[in-house]
Structure 1
């Protein structure tokens, strides 16, 4: 009697992608609803909204980066398992805190605690994304196209270091902490072709 191989369960990825897209769309909607129209029709009233608008722009860029990377990642992913579903929910949890963190930093521009909290959310979201990629690599195997595409993930590890540095820095200089958040966003705005190369025959 031949020995049967025990294989990890494989599930289609479509529902995970659709759910993630829906949650991310809701996150963006909630963030923009936090932008309130000025009570007066003059430039002075508009100037008061600039900090909130700038925090919205930065958060929109970050959410867009996560959506873009998530989309590219799952183009290479062939199937998912239960661990992947939980790892993905873990990522969505931290992304769902973006509207709160954005509103707080917008209402209290360059205040140390809101800026540090924003960094904590960024750090934990980045860590959750890293854990999602490791879970997928474990599921697909170290020799898979996904594992080769991710490689050493230098950008991901550098981002974690910069967030970790920015959080305590916020209590000394919130401006510099925000500059680090912007720097990480700029790093990720540079096109990343790893996943696209993995899809090339």
Structure 2
């Protein structure tokens, strides 16, 4: 929750500075750390419920989560060089998560 609380600050700073390199990189760092926190949360929940649980089956290999973290790492580094490209990568991850994920729905049906 801490990383999510920094979104308004990072977003505002990025907008106020016309998407300058450092604010775009900071925004990327905030979303990267939130993504890492989500990844850790899913691993802890799976460990708590067991590797054979419905939750573990629903989450599976969590390709979306791993791909998102990878793209965020690339975006943070590229933000210092080409900020607009980093913003494009942030939008790409957002679109990736807007596509419905049927894993949980499928695992509950079985």
For residue 99 of structure 1, the aligned residue among 2, 5, 8 is 8
Alpha-carbon separation, structure 2, partners of 1:199 and 1:152: 17
* Structure of greater relative contact order (alpha carbons < 8 Å, 6+ residues apart): 2
Please name the residue that 1:165 is paired with: 74
Aligned pairs for 1:6-21 (under 5 A) are: none
SS at match of 2:33: helix
Q: Highest Rg: 1 or 2?
A: 1
Please name the residue that 2:38 is paired with: 129
Alpha-carbon separation, structure 1, partners of 2:11 and 2:20: 13
Aligned pairs for 1:45-124 (under 5 A) are: 92-124=1-33
Aligned residues: 110
TM-score, normalization by structure 1: 0.54
Deviation of the 1:133 alpha carbon: 0.4
Q: Which runs of 5+ in 2 are unaligned?
A: none
Alpha-carbon separation, structure 1, partners of 2:10 and 2:57: 35
Q: Which has the higher helix share?
A: 2
Q: Which runs of 5+ in 1 are unaligned?
A: 1-91
Please name the residue that 2:106 is paired with: 197
Q: CA RMSD in A?
A: 0.8
